[in-house]
Amino acid sequence: MPVSKIGNLVYSLGLSVLPKKGLASSYSGRALSEDAKTRLTQAMISQRIVGAQIALILEGQVEGVYACGVKRKPDIPVTDDTIFRTASLAKVPAALCVLRLCERGLTGLDDDVSDYLGYKLRNPAFPDSKITLRQLLSHSSSLCDAEGYSKGLSGSVSLREAAQMPESYTESAPDTAFCYSNLGYAVVSEIIASVCQKEYTSVIQSEIFNTLGMEASYNAGALDSSRLSAIYRIFPPSRSASFDPIGRKMPTGERAKFSLAPGNIYTTAADFAKLAEALMQIDEKLFSRESYEEMLKPRMDYAKDAAFGLGIFSLKRAGRQLYGHQGVAYGAVNGMFFDKDAKAGFVIMDNGADERRHGRMTRLCESAIDAVFGVMEDSGWI
């Protein structure tokens, strides 16, 4: 994934010699003009999408689902019920779950997380500074994704061992600087499991998926394999998948802590949109207005005109104040974004796209924001 300026340059040079290919597409739902659907298709072509779904959300419900490209090369098309891997969009339900537990008094955003883990969690350079759930959810705990996280994914160290490695921390004190951390959300999952005395996946299933009526799972092996999308990197081009969920078993034991909460949900764009719908409307079966405002409150600068709250970030684009999250892994670039004032938004899931960024924002998500809100405005939806 190209993140540095040099990485983006090399990636851009590689893409420049590859032709952009047309995409077959379909749409179901509230009427859109052919020009509107063409605009969505052109946005996807510009980002070299392999296959994608976009769930269009308005006034608390999915009004339409656009699908394009293929879920498996060379020619199996994406449909409305194709299942994608969310990548880091999975952090949003983790944060929501923490807020629900806080409302019941089972934990607190500003408590020392060491009290729930059973071991001391400290940045060794700042041993007197506690680490809290508020910091973990906003990527301001000073935990970072270094060797410990990589070893955890491979199963060679436990979460406790990884979280206590000096190299797993930045040089900044907790609560003073932003550092996006999958390891931090691994710790969050362990706290949730400890507080609830259940497996993390079972807690999210009951607290979030069942509450919202979402068809979603952390276990690809439990799903209809004919609906599962493989993931491809567009550069260098290949017909072989970079990630294929078919035949994969859900991680267990310590490895599960490193992979599940940070980014391992399987679902459709329309099902994940139910979570966005709830956030737009302050769905009180999910959480209170106070928790909602706490979640969206900017805490740490994330990118130009963007700041992270708790499990979600705010940004200004297309003349709107938006909230959302991105998910990038194995070549897929996903996003959930909404305008809570207009009660409009979308979820995009794909299985391969241009991975370049403008700072921390992916070009794919920027393009999708411009296209989707442009289509909604031109169609008189908002």
The CATH number of residue 67's host domain is 3.40.710.10
In a domain, 293, yes or no: yes
In a domain, 302, yes or no: yes
Q: Return the structure tokens found at 63.
A: 């009004």
Tell me the C-alpha to C-alpha distance, in Å, between residue 117 and each of 9, 197, 277, 280, 290.
43, 12, 33, 33, 26
pLDDT at 303: 81
> Could you report the per-residue pLDDT of 99-121, keeping only the tens digit for each?
999 999 999 999 999 999 999 99
> What range defines the domain where residue 24 resides?
5-88+225-247+264-378
Residue 231 contacts residue 241 (beta carbons within 8 Å): yes
pLDDT at 99: 97
Using 70 as the pLDDT threshold, list the residues of the chain that sit under it.
1-3
Q: What is the pTM of this model?
A: 0.96
Q: Domain tally for the chain?
A: 1
In a domain, 273, yes or no: yes
Q: How far apart are CA 75 and CA 173, in angstroms?
A: 51
Residues comprising the chain, all counted = 382
In a domain, 235, yes or no: yes
* CB neighbour class for 145 (10 Å; exposed up to 12, middle 13-18, buried from 19): buried
In a domain, 188, yes or no: no
CA end-to-end span of the chain, whole Å?
Answer: 35
In a domain, 184, yes or no: no
pLDDT at 282: 85
In a domain, 345, yes or no: yes
Tell me the C-alpha to C-alpha distance, in Å, between residue 128 and each of 173, 197, 211.
10, 29, 39
Residue 322 contacts residue 316 (beta carbons within 8 Å): yes
pLDDT at 259: 95
Single-letter amino acid, residue 335: G
Q: How far apart are CA 376 and CA 365, in angstroms?
A: 16
In a domain, 157, yes or no: no
∠ CA 274-329-345, rounded to 5°: 30
Residue 322 contacts residue 72 (beta carbons within 8 Å): no
Q: To which H or E segment does residue 372 belong? A: helix 363-378
